[in-house]
Amino acid sequence: MSATPRAAGLLIACAVLGAALAMGLRQSFGLFLAPMTTTLGWSASGFALAIALQVLVNGVAQPICGQVADRIGGRRVIMAGAVFYALGIMGMALSTSLFWFTFFAGVVMGVAVSAAGMPVIIASLTRLLPPEMRGRAVGLGTAGSSFGQFLVVPLSQLGISVAGWQGALFLLAGAALLMVPLALPLNDKPAPPVAGEVEQTAGEALRLALRSPTFWCLFFGFFVCGLHVSFLAVHMPGFVASCMLPASVGAASIALIGLFNIAGSLAAGELSQRWRRRELLVLIYAGRGVLMTAFLLADKTTTNVLIFSALMGVLWLSTVPPTVALVARNFGTRWLATIFGLVFLGHQIGGFTGAYLGGLIFDLTGSYDLMWSLSIAAAAFAALVHLPVRDGPALALPAQAATKP
């Protein structure tokens, strides 16, 4: 059942804060690489492998957590995820070997991020709000994630400076538990079937989605989104260093991307309610391709890097609101967390590919130029692959059609 206007503000506020905290915590882990590897004598590649495993586990576990959320409601899944968050971070703090660190940072945190992350939060929020508010709410939730990255990461660095890396991890574990009360209003229950219609089972919904070309267009489009996001998040500081620019420019680049993504996500949420979502996604991916082409051809000065970062921030996660809206429009909201979780799996596979391929190409060629060219080609592919996406009413089950006179 949709929330009343009186309750909508509380729902959106709690969802935004929860998404901000979840994203901010997970984006802070890179700060611990240097102090932990130095203190414990671990290799940087060993630490990085644990975080890369987290991305893959997150992608695989997301549809499973979505399925559970669709059956019992998102609130309990998010609360359980918050507890896993705290346990995973505490395990990271107490690990004395790479094996246990990989288990807690990779496996436990991968499941935690799936249960208490943006897809489940946004799916719950979408079910609880009326259709005319969903695009704006998803935009706010996505912007909240970027705000968490912008706010929590510097606070985590401050915690490391004041309390050391282990003390900072304990503080982050405590902060993760704040997601438990924030999940309380997200009490989405499976909606009862409308009179005269046959209720979809999970299997029917999945079969319908997997047979739909629209699902696969959204899946492969989100793969490209993940490839772009991970390539830039992981390798932008290294690319800046390879251009002989100060390290502070690389850090400022990542910060600007997160800051301007707030505006981009909010704008995408509003536009998702006013424009056709299909055309909006085509424009976003085409815009990325044009922007990256211009940056690749331009002089690599501090000013150009910062301008590129700000503009790319506007397009960073602006794909999320129209993608969620298209999933809900095509396949309904009953199994939204499940189906969007499968689309999100494409994003995470793309994320792993972008992070790994960027490093491999640099190791083989000594330059990121080929990776930039591949990213531009991927943007063109993503723009084209969304053209056949269906942007009409939800698809009907054959059984439903058969029961109607």
Q: What is the pLDDT of residues 7-42, one digit of tens each?
A: 777 888 888 899 889 988 887 887 787 788 889 998
Helix axes 336-365, 320-331, angle to 10 degrees: 140
Question: 132 near 6, Cβ under 8 Å?
Answer: no
- The structure's pTM equals 0.74
Q: Is the pLDDT of residue 384 over 90?
A: yes
* The pLDDT of residue 196: 42
Rounding to the nearest 10 degrees, give the CA dihedral for residues 19, 345, 252, 116.
Answer: 20
Confidence of residue 389 (pLDDT cuts 50, 70, 90): very high
SS3 334: coil
Question: 84 near 134, Cβ under 8 Å?
Answer: no
* Rounded CA separation 300/35 (Å): 31
Confidence of residue 235 (pLDDT cuts 50, 70, 90): confident
Domains of the chain: 1-188 (1.20.1250.20), 209-388 (1.20.1250.20)
Average pLDDT, the chain: 84
Question: 109 near 246, Cβ under 8 Å?
Answer: no
* Rounded CA separation 87/169 (Å): 11
